[in-house]
Copies of this chain bind each other. A is one copy, B any other.
Amino acid sequence: MTLSKMTREEFAALDAADPLAPFRAEFELPEDVIYLDGNSLGPLPRIARERVAACVSEEWGNGLIRSWNDAGWIDLPKRVGSKIGALIGAEPDSVIGADSTSVNLFKCLSAALALRPDRTIIVSEKSNFPTDLYMAEGLSALLGGRHELRLVEDPSELPGALTDDVAVLMLTHVNYRTGYMHDMKAVTDAAHATGALTLWDLAHSAGAVPVNLTAANADFAVGCSYKYLNGGPGAPAFLYVAPRRQQDASQPLTGWFSHKTPFAFDHRFTPTDGIGKFLCGTPPVLAMTALDAAMDIWARVDMDAVRAKSVALTENFITLVEERCAGLGLMLASPRTPEHRGSQVSFAHENGYPVMQALIARGVIGDFRAPYLLRFGFTPLYTRFTDVWDAVEHLHDILESSNWDQPKFHARAAVT
């Protein structure tokens, strides 16, 4: 066993100098937990607890039906959307909060395919988050099987896959397993050069890394708000349509909230103008209130500071794991270069499942992704550098004390 060249004191000093450190106090975090799973479910913002309680007792309990207007429930999808939009470089009135990521992807993919009626290929990655692929499969079948889902195995294959019959390039910006991050602008440019539209899934990007949809010239995007945004379990998702696409775009889930005059109760459908046409049914007010409250924290956050700390956390984690756990069967499964990495780090280990179970038993909560991945999310608003140190100590102790065989598998080299 080699002693680490870094010290816990150095990590504590980083915490002391951290400009984002005060945000931690805005979240409920159990004392006995090191939470490295905010990329699955963000923790409870104290303000969300207060606002949900007020929404339940005052707005629902006391205001009853009047709260649709008096408490502004009716505006929640756009209000939440504006707050999220500000964080991902979206133009005004181009983002709404609504439904699930899956449903929103269905809407956006439908709209994009309709804008490219003569093209039949949807390009994505085999390693994309599965629900995105499932939704594309479901839509494709509904449209009569005329479309083909072309899945690349590696990002390097994307340029070759972008032939002139591609309607849509549908990618998750940051990969859920490895944390690999695409260059959104470069990839969007490549798609546009062949006449294809882009549909980005920002599930592991919003609140995790700087995103600028406007600068990237993106067409459509969807994303999840219960991960880095801390909107609560199963919080409503979001959806972006570039202003230049809104006029011509239409989506098939034409519920009454997307109607021009929903309370006229006309039996014929007339879509409203702008991003509102991508709404569908009645929004889940309690869930959206928690998200709305959580987004108020983000209004005070500098995403460049988040990125700087995120890189420092993940770099230190990788360095420390590779120092402290050398020879214990771990292999980095995330890009080593920070510019290709989101705000998570995955390591492969042959006994990944029991290792993660042992970590969780010690209060170090990460994720396991079959068959081998230990996945750790780093969330600068509340993760401390000393959390990184302590988590690695636990990981080291677990690996060293166990009688697992040396790894028998060779993980495919991580994308860089």
Binding site for B on A (CB under 8 A): 28, 30, 33, 35, 37, 40-41, 43-44, 48-49, 52-53, 56-57, 59-62, 64-68, 73, 99-103, 106, 110, 126-131, 133-135, 137-139, 141-144, 151, 177, 224, 226, 232-237, 251-259, 262-269, 280-288, 290, 360, 365, 367, 369-370
User: How many Å from the CB of A237 to the closest CB on chain B?
Assistant: 7
Query: Are A65 and B151 touching (Cβ within 8 A)?
Result: no
- 26 inter-chain pairs at a CB distance below 8 angstroms, sorted by A residue, are A28-B61, A30-B61, A44-B61, A52-B56, A60-B232, A66-B365, A73-B233, A73-B234, A99-B103, A100-B280, A102-B256, A102-B257, A103-B255, A103-B281, A130-B262, A134-B269, A135-B254, A135-B255, A139-B252, A141-B252, A144-B144, A224-B282, A234-B284, A234-B286, A234-B287, A286-B286
User: How many Å from the CB of A175 to the closest CB on chain B?
Assistant: 12
**Copies of this chain, whole number:** 2
- The docked-state distance in angstroms from the alpha carbon of A41 to that of B284 is 12
User: With A254-B135, A284-B234 in contact, is A37–B64 under 8 Å at CB?
Assistant: yes
Chain B: which residue is nearest A131 at the CB level? B256
Q: Which of B126, B255, B282, B370 contacts A234 (CB 8 A)?
A: B282
User: With A57-B44, A255-B102, A264-B370 in contact, is A288–B234 under 8 Å at CB?
Assistant: yes
- The docked-state distance in angstroms from the alpha carbon of A286 to that of B48 is 12
Q: Which residues of B contact A143 (CB under 8 A)?
A: 142
User: How many Å from the CB of A373 to the closest CB on chain B?
Assistant: 10
Q: Which residues of B contact A232 (CB under 8 A)?
A: 56, 60, 285-286
User: With A40-B65, A64-B41, A286-B52 in contact, is A267–B128 under 8 Å at CB?
Assistant: yes
Q: Which residues of B contact A253 (CB under 8 A)?
A: 102-103, 106, 135, 138
User: How many Å from the CB of A45 to the closest CB on chain B?
Assistant: 10
Query: Are A56 and B41 touching (Cβ within 8 A)?
Result: no
Q: Which residues of B contact A101 (CB under 8 A)?
A: 281-282
Query: Are A130 and B284 touching (Cβ within 8 A)?
Result: no
- The docked-state distance in angstroms from the alpha carbon of A65 to that of B233 is 8
User: How many Å from the CB of A282 to the closest CB on chain B?
Assistant: 5
User: With A256-B130, A282-B100, A288-B234 in contact, is A57–B49 under 8 Å at CB?
Assistant: yes
The 3 closest A-B pairs by CB, nearest first: A100-B281, A102-B255, A102-B281
Query: Are B110 and A284 touching (Cβ within 8 A)?
Result: no
Q: Which residues of B contact A66 (CB under 8 A)?
A: 360, 365
- The docked-state distance in angstroms from the alpha carbon of A128 to that of B265 is 10
- The docked-state distance in angstroms from the alpha carbon of A66 to that of B283 is 26
Q: Which residues of B contact A137 (CB under 8 A)?
A: 254, 268-269
